[in-house]
Structure 1
């Protein structure tokens, strides 16, 4: 019953935020690296912080990872407004990830070199998720299908967390998509949206992997992972600064060079990820084989098709 009450509350919270964003000019202005052409409200992903407020009230036992989520979400919202230095952002990311690791018991159970590697991987995943947020619909739909897969596992296979901790970001994604999954979006997620939901999903995945002992669940992020990693390799090959904005992701090539619909691209990415999630859930096998089956076709499409689709080198 509470979910039926929260959906309209989330919706009206977004309308209130739009008024605030209009007043304080929290907007996204298109530039040469953008995949959109109109001024649009930025920071609509604040809905995930609103969902987290309810999560900490409904399930207080998760206060520590939710506190970490608020820390990383707050600095991301500040960055949407003020454009903070990279050093400030990474410092807050380190604090948030440290709190998450404390909750998960990472420091007591793993050697220092694994902990160091986990810091790199987790912060890398969060930032990669943020970089993938460049067209209408992609963050909301992709996050929704990943969360749905996690909830299926949670309810039907391995109970690893209270269901509210997944239902709430799912509802937030639905409300966000109402305003974002459009040819002309009413709002963009902003860093506050993409970084916050990325942290939430990473928390859920790590909890699941620790509880189950199966690393295959990392493939719930396979589509984003292939695009992000291969784009980094491509940019290194071109001797570009991988931390600077660009338009070399495969989805950006489709949107900008080939003028594909943003919503079509977002739907394709989401369906591909859904198929991989179904493969992991319903056809469990050795991680190496699953990894090969799910990522090799994506790698081949990226490597073979991208050069033909690009109109120019960035």
Structure 2
């Protein structure tokens, strides 16, 4: 407990130091046509997540050298390239190359290459890349990335302690502490900072690492649903954009949370909290349900998907979108 208090304080001080650096070098987020905010805000507050891993490595040096080196390289690489992209736009070739290397390192770390047949490797690779992008797509309003990640990480910690041990507790607790520090500055009506790509990709990579470890340990794919709210939002939005013959790689404002924030002017904090609560309800049901995976998927996706589509249709009709 004393160690965790020290880490929390150190992370808090670290992000304050970063604010000074970001302010000096003008690392800011300027509102554009798809932004849900209207004020210039410091960008890159999500740098707290790779810092949290560095601290974890120092406190667990022997284990980090032998067990976490591949995860650490992957995390730091994807965070580094994402931070550079926050400062200046990089070419897709450079970003995708680093993403590919990081995902390969993540699959190595989680023993996916040895525990899964060869034909399953591309499936996991596509799922991880898709989830990373989902985390990036959903990082658009105050509090969303932080509180959603916090709910997911706390669920991991409960599963690890009460259901099945699949990782060291500290490997889950450290990103929880980083999320709490980040939320202190981001879960506000006027946020002090935004996560930036370094934050959304960094915490996304960490969460994906944990969920992959859990799946490899249990061989139970139902745990993918621990990210089902993000997954459903992104998949349905992509399908909608394909049907409208839009370029799915271009920036847009078609996510349900964007419609609520931009058109209906609902509080960012209320929207973020709602998404997190929905995921928490799903997680509780998922953890305690004894039903087959297919039944769990249907029970979760049919009602939530129906509500999602109804809300989106009514908003689009009202605002002629």
Shorter-chain TM range is over 0.9
Distance 2:192 2:320 in 1: 30
Which structure 1 segments of 5+ residues have no match? none
Q: CA deviation at 1:106?
A: 2.3
Other-structure match for 1:52: 53
Per-residue deviation, residues 230-280 of structure 1 (Å, max 9, x unmatched) = 000011111111111110001001111111000000010000000000001
Counterpart in 2 of 1:110?
Answer: 116
- Give the superposition deviation at 1:113: 2.8
Residue 58 of structure 1: how far off its partner (Å)? 2.5
Residue 29 of structure 2 corresponds to residue 24 of structure 1: no
Query: TM (normalized to structure 1)?
Result: 0.97
Residue-pair matches, total: 313
Q: Which residue of 2 aligns with 1:97?
A: 103
The answer to whether the 8 Å contact 1:56/1:63 transfers is: no
1:167 aligns with 2:173: yes
Cα offset, 1:103, TM superposition: 2.0
Q: Which residue of the partner structure matches residue 268 of structure 2?
A: 262
Counterpart check, 1:43 vs 2:48 = no
Aligned to 1:151, which of 151, 157, 160? 157
CA RMSD of aligned residues (A): 1.0
Residue 236 of structure 2 corresponds to residue 235 of structure 1? no
> Which residue of structure 1 lines up, in the alignment, with residue 306 of structure 2?
300
* Alpha-carbon distance, 1:91 to partner: 0.6
Counterparts of 1:52 and 1:11, CA distance in 2? 14
Q: CA deviation at 1:300?
A: 0.6
**1:195-240 CA-partner distances (Å, limit 9, x unpaired):** 0100100000000011011111111101111100000001111111
2: distance between equivalents of 1:234 and 1:66?
36
- The whole-number CA distance in structure 2 between the counterparts of 1:166 and 1:108 is 24
The residue aligned with 2:15 is 14
Aligned ranges 1:141-220 → 2 under 5 Å: 141-220=147-226
Where does the alignment leave 5 or more consecutive residues of structure 2 unmatched?
none
Tell me, yes or no, if the aligned pair for 1:227 and 1:249 is still in contact at 8 Å: yes
- Measure the CA separation in 2 of the matches of 1:198 and 1:108: 23
Give how far 1:18 is off.
0.4
